[in-house]
Amino acid sequence: MDKIKLERLADILKNSEKIVFFGGAGVSTESGLRDYRSEDGIYNSISKYGYPPEEILSHEFFFDKTAAFYEFYRDFFMGKPQPNDAHIALARLEEIGKLTAVITQNIDNLHQLAGSKTVLEIHGTTQKYTCPRCGKKYTREYLEKTQGIPHCEKCNTPIKPDVVLYGEMLDDNTVSAAIGAIADADTLIIGGTSLAVYPAAGFIRYFKGKNLIVINKGATSMDDRADLLFRDSIGQVLGQAVALL
């Protein structure tokens, strides 16, 4: 890793007051989770479910083929990964008053497990569930106690994860908070995302601050605009930079 670039990043972090982090699946791969679009990602895996993953993770599929949805969902989203150095470094930046928000496309709750408080989950979370009929709320712990399709205790309707499936709209309040945080930031760190998923990737255009940092192993649409560009492990980059503060 380029030591000079790393020291420059640490200097930027030290002199920033409103850092925002915008991250994707690549942040969690170092915790053992698979991403979506890489060669070994979920979307490029050979499906044993009879349907492509993009179809399974849709609003229509959930309601039409709920059993198949939950078979896939339990296989891919019900593990117990732990935060990695990237999650821990971001929590530390917030703790010392530098980072104002984590905006994540991930649904794995790892930022919160690492200690981050202000986490805007663009695509929802696997930690919460709702009955589409009566609105009763459930936790991940309830789902873990069930098998197959989890049903509402009140009305016996299959409960739904509080994640944004294909064909569903993003939460307006989360979107507004994310755009506001980016617009107010003096430093924006983009990490672990190819910026290929819209509308979330479009939030980046609201950044008007001074420092744009990109940390991603693959190319992104913001590489040419970045003040600093890293193709290294995001955990190593953020972990070592924060350690220099």
Residue 111 falls in the annotated catalytic set:
no
| CB contact at 8 A, 235 and 92 | no
| CB contact at 8 A, 193 and 105 | yes
Among residues 59, 87, 111, 123, the one annotated as catalytic is: 123
Which amino acids are annotated catalytic? 123
